[in-house]
Amino acid sequence: MSTVGRWQQQTIHSSVNVVKQRQVQRLDSKVFATFIKPDCLYAAYASARERGLRDYWLLRTKSKAQQAKKAIKVVGGTTIRTGAWYVEAEWYLSTSDDQGRKSYKLLAGKVVSVPVVSFVQEKGLVWSHEGRTGGQSILSPESHLALVQHNYSNVL
């Protein structure tokens, strides 16, 4: 201390804004599956960024979460294994590159099986404007903020 003075730790945060990321303890997928309801808005971790550079994809559930009785083939060569939790859902397609406009269009009629483990564990997502008849829906700023506060860098 007498030769170098007082030492004090300074935390330097990376460009991904670690301070603002929510410190969320991920629930077991079985527990989170109990919260999933049909005809509700949820997000899944994206394997590729959508328009607007979003790290999540939005989906509308068509069923409650259920366990796979047998392996389910999924587009892209993956499989939902027997016993894993999944939901039937329809994806939303991002329609804007503008960071200020989180607009989406439902890909209605294209029902897919989505594993619960791939969900961003955030419930209560809502639209600020919902285009029910094929129009564009706009994600509420609060829902977008809730989603981006998750840490996308260390997903399963």
The pLDDT of residue 28 is 77
Question: Please, what is the Cα angle at 102 between 92 and 150, to 5 degrees?
Answer: 85
The DSSP result for 43-92, as a single string, is EEEEEEEETTTEEEEEEEESS--EE-SS-EEETTTEEEPTT-EEEEEEEE
> Positive or negative CA dihedral for 86, 133, 58, 112?
positive
Residue 30 DSSP symbol: H
Tens of pLDDT along 78-109? 789 999 999 999 999 999 887 778 899 999 88
Query: Residue 133 has what pLDDT?
Result: 59
pLDDT for residue 27: 66
Q: Which residues contact residue 11 at a Cβ distance below 8 angstroms, ignoring those fewer than 6 apart?
A: none
CA dihedral 92, 79, 48, 154 (to 10 degrees): 110
Which segments in the chain show pLDDT lower than 70?
1-27, 51, 77, 132-134, 152-156
pLDDT value of position 21: 47
Structural tokens at position 35: 């919260």
**Predicted local confidence at residue 67, as pLDDT:** 95
